[in-house]
A and B are shown apart, each in its own frame.
Chain A
Amino acid sequence: MNEASTQFPCYLFSFTVDGYLTDINDILLRSLGYERDELIPDFRFEDILTKGSRIFFKTHFLPMLMMQHKVNEMFLSFNTKQEQDFPVLINLTLEEKEGKRVIHAAGIQIEKRNKFEKSIIEAKEAAETALKENVLLLDMKSKLERNQDLLERQLHDLKRINREHVEFNKILSHDLQEPMRKVRLFAGLLEGKIDKKELNPELQTYLVKLLRLSEYAHELIARLQSFHSLEDRMNDAAEGDLEEIIGAAHSRIGNDEIKVNLEGIKESRVFGDITLLTRVFRELLANAWQFRDPDRPVEVEIKSEIVTDNYYKSLTGAYRYIDFLQIQFKDNASGFPPNVNDRIFGLLQKFHENSGRGLGLAYCKKIVELHNGRILANTRLKQGTQFTIILPNSLDVKYY
């Protein structure tokens, strides 16, 4: 820097891309309260900034400088040797010379202007807050009206669905079950009356089939009814221990050949109807056993984790982040065919030759959803299935 420029009434200085000061004029030295050899070569540009300015410079202005090779009208607070702050307006240019990059800076102190600006900012902020609150209130009001409208329609629908639900249950428990009971009764009477020796074998087979099918239909209807009315039979929400719940499910199945690895469980509390939640694991374990790969022992790995996610799953545009318990249940059974991921939870869905009644996973889904949770499956044929269960992590659980 030549003699004249060190005396110009503005701040002139240069620094490397790494931040180290290489040049600085007298006026700036005086404002900062340092001697030249105190700053060069050991001080970086950011060392003469306040911490807030340092973050802003590094996150906003430095990227801009790298991309555009200049930054204009940048406001930063300098920090003197005596720990005093003063505001400076700076322009920067990045110069590349013989493969070396140097940043040149020119700035002026703007103490007075800054004071005026501060009062403008304050006034503007007060006005803005008032305006914003007003806009927010009006917005909320119309949102509330819209939601009320929606709520009314949904309640109306819900009432109708509930009525149908009650009717359907009655049909299942009586209207369908009664004729079935009579079919069984008459088929049984028929069987008793007929002299077996005289009946031709073909007709005899028919009769046996008739009896078996009516028995099956009777049982299926009873199970469907039980599935359908599950929510009416829920217990009050309680707190349970995940490991204990899985242990109970495992011993209910009474199958020692299923190896359950619980190492990934970290003292997880579970909230809800503990009996039903135990059933979820019973069904999943039974599922792993039923569809086991005959070539390897049945192994199940269960992990748990607290994850934070949006509470609102049905409402769009609404956000409240709360903690959920996320349980990963991974089996090494034969898996399901590709692209059936969500359908495996469907009622009476069967994907294997030796499928049961197709209710087990449907129960899992229903129970988890009644707890305001979600269950997902990621299945790979011949490798196994990973179930992910996400449950609200608080006793404040509401059944749905």
Chain B
Amino acid sequence: MDVIKRNNVRVLGEGTQVLMFAHGFGCDQTMWRYIIPAYEKDYKIVLFDYVGCGKSDISQFTEERYSSLHGYAQDIIEICESLNLKDVILVGHSVSSMVGMLASIKRPDYFRSLILVCPSPCYINKPGYRGGFEEKDLEGLMEVMDNNYVGWASFLAPVVMKNQEQPGLTEELEKSFCSMDKEITQNFARITFFSDNREDLSKVKVPSLVLQCSEDDIAPKEVGEYVNDKLENSTIYYMDATGHCPHMSHPEETIECISRYLETELAIS
């Protein structure tokens, strides 16, 4: 199995300390483009797409493996294995905060620290916990997705053809969207928004940073604070940046926060 090709892994940078970036739901590794240049000189940067996202090998997607976030965590572990990475600092956005966390629980020896950008361990409201969403809101999400994929050639093509080569089409879709396949994206959405990882927070052993945006209603302040509270060795930085994708909308502040953590908490200069 060629993990590098499967996950479209790219390694760049001139340093030795590994900084691995994991994209969130709905996007791929290109979402880190405004952050990467700040670390290229001093770090070894590892970028990848989860199977089913970006330019990964979509034929490697199986419902069995990716039926929970553990399958995605397995992607990260296998990338570390095949590149022989140790002491990785993992920067994970949104759902990747949880995926990275699960990977670090399984293989603590691979990780040095986790930087969690807009994390949420559970999006749905539960007794005594406010995740921010009700199940019916998430059904609405599925419907919006259905509608956004209408009219695409891939959508109208039979499902069995989706693994075949369609170079022209693929290229077009990449330009217009980060995720190519509706089934896979909806599967990812389902396991992202319906999973409950609150119990796992206390199992994380590596030091971590929570980057909390203002006015983020996907991962609100209370949820970020909950994460910071339950993690054993965690710091929280409150950002001025609004929304759920600070690394895209407010890259300067995001870089400033990551660098501050690396320098002050991990003592890397």
Contact = CB atoms under 8 A, between A and B. Distances in A.
Contact of B138 (A52, A308, A378): A52
A331 B147 CA distance: 58
B141 A62 contact: no
A132 B159 contact: yes
Interface string A78-91: 00000000010000
B25 A59 contact: yes
Interface residues of A, number: 49
Given A66-B245, A307-B105, A308-B70, A56 B217 contact: no
B249 interface: yes
B62 A319 contact: yes
B244 A59 contact: yes
Interface residues of B, number: 57
Contact of A19 (B65, B71, B151, B243): B243
Contacts of B138: 52, 55
Interface in A83-133: 87, 114, 117, 120-121, 124, 128, 131-132
Contacts of A310: 70, 74
Contact of A59 (B74, B94, B109, B146): B94
A175 B94 CA distance: 66
A298 B114 CA distance: 33
B165 interface: no
B26 to A, nearest CB: 3
A51 B31 contact: no
B217 A54 contact: yes
A198 B69 CA distance: 81
B142 to A, nearest CB: 7
A73 B94 CA distance: 25
A72 B172 CA distance: 13
A135 to B, nearest CB: 6
B10 interface: no
Nearest to B23: A63
A305 B151 CA distance: 48
A250 B14 CA distance: 50
Contact of B26 (A60, A66, A87): A60
Contact of B144 (A72, A73, A75): A75
Q: Which of A53, A55, A66, A87 has the most CB of B within 10 A?
A: A55
Interface in B196-218: 203, 215, 217-218
27 contacts: A18-B243, A44-B215, A46-B217, A52-B139, A52-B140, A55-B137, A55-B138, A55-B218, A56-B148, A58-B243, A59-B94, A63-B26, A63-B27, A64-B176, A73-B151, A74-B148, A75-B147, A75-B150, A76-B144, A124-B155, A128-B159, A132-B160, A305-B105, A307-B203, A309-B106, A310-B70, A321-B70
